[in-house]
């Protein structure tokens, strides 16, 4: 049951609007009227902080009169002028009230009606919400320059934001308190905040007006912008490792200098030619000298970092892990999304709370996953980041806690699909998912809250990809369409062949003796994707796109392993992508040549993969999911694996029904056959797009 917020919590939910005043002709009345109209219905405590940056006269008098009869207006005058947004908003935070801050210019650049939606994003778990002016109303030349600036900055910094020139932002107070900004760095606050571990997102906003110069700016402006981009790139990527930045530049100059200087030296030493009339030699020496100096700068920086490391804070702590890993800071415990009262005897009643995961909790959640008996690689934060990057849809993480102890979590994503409609899945592109919890009661509460959220989002259903069925949750429907397969591995790789049935052993030996195949670790992603796409096309399904494989490799790192099967001539005939989790190897994606496949290839590949798993220290081979009575299921059983039913459970929405978009559905037979016969030149451009629509 929910509690009514007390006065203290209501005050914390207040919003302060920072208005950076630089225009002596600012229209105070219409500006405040527009903000009041948008914000008053929110029912939150409000405060307007006008920061006058060298502005006086009429504007100051009007604001002073307003402050005299309005208790929600504060004035802050900065000495001089041209202090900039970084100084203005940093100074303004001392005069703010409430947990949420909104920064804005002194005119109606953005429709204030978007502020409630931005605050909702903050309460859903974001720490900073950046505005994206879309569509824009300023001249095309300004739009072109801004688009290039944002594109270049995205390439340099790796951010996904579209409009860093828009300073209309909403954020939690702690962002402005913990991220130091100066000069023109307020423009880059989302990048700096993300680096500190805060959760940053953006939201389209209605662009009303744009002030400033139209056309090309002076050369100095473009140079300053370029230097700003270089500065923020350095600050976000190399402040803790300066030698990498200066070392790369230095080594580049040294190599270039050697290219210029070595040929003249060779001619002098071995051919007797003079180097006095070769200025290129002098240029090479200068480049080498500069390169050595840059490396020296990097070494000095490393010495400073080493000696001052204990005084540096280049991170954000959200949780202190002790023997009770659920201990939270007091401020974090107040981020409760929902409170549930667990029935019981009066003296034993305790509150089980469900909230959104906080920034910086990924390490703890990963540790919880590693220790849980039903934890899987798909519950790890690296998988969630891959899903968000590939699909563009956010993965929500609900955390359940009792008092100071965290008892479980549930990741899921609301996923609009052209084939399935709007659905919620725990978790996309994975075979296992659902809540990880200490007991069924905690799991029930997590599922109930996720179901409530997905119903509000008008999803057709919430899908929980469970191994064991979740008991005691009303309204869940179960599908047993899928099976999974586990087998314990022997301690010696030589014994792996012996655990296969007789026919499977014979086929594996044919691959080894007749086809003379060998399994080699490592495979080029493009080659793997080509083999995988060929297999999927023969089955009438789209293949995983190369970009998703690259994202998997980038986020999973050493947890992702590729193997290839080669013929004696070096031709790659098969490949498999596996995940390593705890002491388990999970072969997840595989591909092979079609009709030209050597004898015993598949049996050989998985036999040798078991051997490789034992050598990696794995004790369990998880053969993954297959549909009942499918060819893949028969192959796994012929390899000696006993099936285990997967209990995929669904909470259906008001208009929902169990999903029927699967190869067993006869209605899809025509489309599968059409995909099989279409030439690759027609299917390849769209297969990635189709695959992303099937979570």
Q: Give the model confidence (pLDDT) of 180-207 as tens digits.
A: 776 667 788 888 888 777 889 999 888 8
Q: Would you tell me how many other CB atoms lie within 10 Å of the CB of residue 192?
A: 21
Integer angstrom CA distances of residue 569 from 566, 575, 598, 671: 8, 16, 13, 38
Contact status, residue 60 vs residue 77, Cβ threshold 8 Å: yes
- Please compute, for residue 332, the number of CA atoms within 13 A of its CA located in the half-sphere on the CB side: 21
The residue-averaged pLDDT of 308-316 equals: 45
Would you state the pLDDT for residue 306?
52
Q: How far apart are CA 440 and CA 195, in angstroms?
A: 37
Which residue did the predictor score with more confidence, 594 or 468? 468
Q: Which of 38-47, 147-156, 262-271 has the highest mean pLDDT?
A: 38-47
* 205-234: burial string, b at 16+ Cβ within 10 Å, e else: bebeebeeeeeeeeeeeeeebeebbeebbe
Kindly report the pTM of this predicted structure. 0.54
List, for residues 517-547, the tens digit of each pLDDT value: 999 999 999 999 999 988 888 888 888 889 8
Which residue did the predictor score with more confidence, 240 or 378? 378
- Please compute, for residue 275, the number of CA atoms within 13 A of its CA located in the half-sphere on the CB side: 18
Contact status, residue 350 vs residue 402, Cβ threshold 8 Å: yes
Integer angstrom CA distances of residue 16 from 96, 170, 208, 358: 6, 10, 21, 22
Integer angstrom CA distances of residue 287 from 206, 246, 266, 291, 616: 51, 14, 18, 6, 46
Kindly report each contact of residues 82-87 with a partner whose C-beta sits within 8 Å and lies 24 or more positions away, as own/partner.
82/53, 82/54, 83/53, 83/54, 84/53, 84/183, 84/184, 84/186, 85/20, 85/167, 85/184, 85/186, 85/187, 86/181, 86/182, 86/183, 86/184, 86/185, 86/186, 87/182
Would you state the pLDDT for residue 309?
42
Which residue did the predictor score with more confidence, 499 or 213? 499
Give phi and psi for 309, each to the nearest 5.
-60, -35
Q: In what helix (H) or strand (E) does residue 17 lie, and over which residues does it extend? A: strand 15-21
Residue 294 has pLDDT above 90, yes or no: no
Q: How far apart are CA 680 and CA 665, in angstroms?
A: 24
Contact status, residue 430 vs residue 376, Cβ threshold 8 Å: yes
Q: How far apart are CA 480 and CA 501, in angstroms?
A: 27
Of 282-286, 317-321, 670-674, minimum mean pLDDT range: 317-321
Residue 694 has pLDDT above 50, yes or no: yes
Would you state the pLDDT for residue 234?
60
Of 125-139, 235-249, 606-620, minimum mean pLDDT range: 235-249
Would you state the pLDDT for residue 348?
37
Q: How far apart are CA 193 and CA 178, in angstroms?
A: 9
The residue-averaged pLDDT of 438-453 equals: 91
The residue-averaged pLDDT of 51-58 equals: 84
List, for residues 353-396, the tens digit of each pLDDT value: 898 887 667 878 888 899 898 999 999 988 998 998 888 888 99
Would you state the pLDDT for residue 241?
62
Mean residue pLDDT across the chain: 81
Residue 457 has pLDDT above 50, yes or no: yes
Q: Would you tell me how many other CB atoms lie within 10 Å of the CB of residue 493?
A: 15
Contact status, residue 509 vs residue 521, Cβ threshold 8 Å: no
Contact status, residue 145 vs residue 152, Cβ threshold 8 Å: no
Contact status, residue 592 vs residue 574, Cβ threshold 8 Å: yes
Would you state the pLDDT for residue 173?
87
High-pLDDT (> 90) share of the chain, %? 31
Report the Cα 470 to chain-centroid distance in Å: 28
Q: Give the end-to-end CA distance of the chain in Å, rounded to a whole number.
A: 33
Residue 304's pLDDT band (cuts 50, 70, 90): low
Residue 344 has pLDDT above 60, yes or no: no
Name which of 86, 199, 217 is nearest 149 in CA terms.
Answer: 217
Residue 656 has pLDDT above 90, yes or no: no
High-pLDDT (> 70) share of the chain, %? 83
Residue 479 has pLDDT above 80, yes or no: yes
């Amino acid at each position: 049951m929910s509690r009514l917020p007390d006065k203290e919590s209501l005050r914390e939910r207040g919003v302060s609007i920072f208005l950076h005043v630089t225009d002596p002709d600012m229209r105070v009345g219409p500006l405040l009227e527009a903000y009041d109209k948008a914000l008053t219905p929110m029912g939150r405590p409000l405060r307007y902080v006008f920061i006058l940056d060298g502005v006086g006269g009429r504007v100051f008098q009007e604001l002073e009169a307003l402050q005299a009869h309005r208790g929600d207006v504060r004035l802050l005058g900065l000495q001089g002028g041209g202090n900039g947004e970084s100084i203005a908003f940093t100074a303004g935070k001392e005069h703010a009230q409430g947990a949420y801050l909104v920064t804005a210019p002194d005119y109606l650049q953005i429709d204030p009606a978007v502020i409630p939606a931005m605050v909702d994003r903050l309460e859903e778990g974001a720490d900073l919400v950046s505005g994206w002016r879309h569509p824009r109303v300023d001249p095309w030349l300004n739009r072109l320059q801004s688009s290039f600036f944002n594109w270049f900055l995205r390439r340099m910094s790796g951010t996904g934001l579209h409009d860093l020139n828009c300073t209309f932002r909403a954020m939690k107070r702690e962002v402005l308190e913990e991220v130091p900004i100066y000069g023109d760095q307020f423009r880059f606050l989302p990048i700096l905040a993300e680096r500190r571990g805060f959760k940053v997102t953006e939201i389209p906003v209605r662009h009303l007006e744009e002030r400033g110069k139209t056309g090309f700016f002076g050369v100095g402006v473009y140079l300053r912008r370029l230097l700003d981009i270089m500065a923020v790139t350095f600050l976000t990527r190399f402040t803790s490792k300066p030698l990498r930045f200066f070392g790369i530049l230095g080594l580049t100059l040294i190599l270039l200098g050697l290219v210029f200087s070595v040929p003249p030296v060779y001619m002098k030493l071995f051919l007797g030619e003079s180097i006095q009339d070769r200025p290129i030699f002098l240029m090479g020496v200068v480049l080498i000298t500069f390169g050595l100096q840059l490396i020296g700068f990097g070494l000095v920086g490393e010495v400073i970092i080493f000696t001052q490391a204990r005084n540096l804070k280049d991170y954000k702590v959200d949780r202190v892990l002790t023997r009770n890993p659920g201990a939270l800071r007091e401020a974090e415990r107040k981020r409760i999304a929902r409170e549930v009262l667990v029935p019981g005897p009066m003296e034993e009643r305790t509150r089980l709370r469900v909230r959104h995961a906080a920034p910086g909790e990924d390490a703890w959640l990963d540790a919880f996953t590693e220790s849980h008996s039903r934890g899987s690689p798909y519950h790890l934060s690296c998988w969630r980041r891959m899903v968000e990057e590939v699909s563009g849809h956010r993965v929500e993480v609900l955390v359940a806690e009792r008092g100071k102890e965290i008892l479980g979590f549930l990741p899921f994503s609301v996923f609009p699909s052209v084939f399935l409609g709007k659905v919620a899945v725990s978790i996309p592109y994975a075979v296992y998912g659902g809540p990880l919890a200490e007991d069924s009661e905690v799991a029930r509460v997590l599922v109930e809250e996720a179901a409530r959220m997905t119903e509000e989002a008008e999803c057709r259903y919430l899908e929980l990809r469970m191994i064991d069925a979740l008991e005691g949750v009303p309204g869940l429907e179960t599908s047993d369409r899928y099976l999974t397969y586990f087998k314990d591995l022997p301690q010696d790789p030589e014994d792996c062949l012996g655990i296969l049935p007789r026919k499977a052993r014979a086929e594996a030996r044919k691959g080894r003796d007749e086809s003379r195949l060998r399994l080699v670790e490592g495979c080029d992603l493009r080659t793997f994707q080509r083999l995988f796409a060929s297999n999927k096309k023969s089955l009438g399904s789209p293949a995983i796109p190369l970009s998703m494989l690259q994202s998997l490799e980038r986020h999973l790192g050493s947890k992702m392993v590729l193997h290839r099967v080669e013929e004696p001539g070096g031709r790659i005939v098969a490949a498999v992508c596996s995940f390593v989790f705890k002491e388990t190897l999970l072969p997840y994606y595989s591909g092979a040549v079609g009709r030209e496949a050597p004898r015993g290839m598949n049996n050989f590949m998985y036999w040798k993969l078991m051997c490789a798993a034992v050598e990696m220290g794995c004790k369990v081979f998880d053969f993954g999911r297959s549909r009942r009575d499918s060819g893949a299921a028969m192959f796994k059983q012929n390899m000696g694996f006993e099936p285990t039913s997967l209990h995929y459970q669904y909470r259906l929405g008001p208009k929902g029904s169990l999903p029927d978009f699967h190869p067993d559905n006869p209605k899809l037979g025509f489309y599968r056959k059409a995909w099989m016969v279409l030439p690759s030149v027609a299917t390849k451009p769209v297969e990635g797009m189709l695959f992303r629509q099937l979570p």
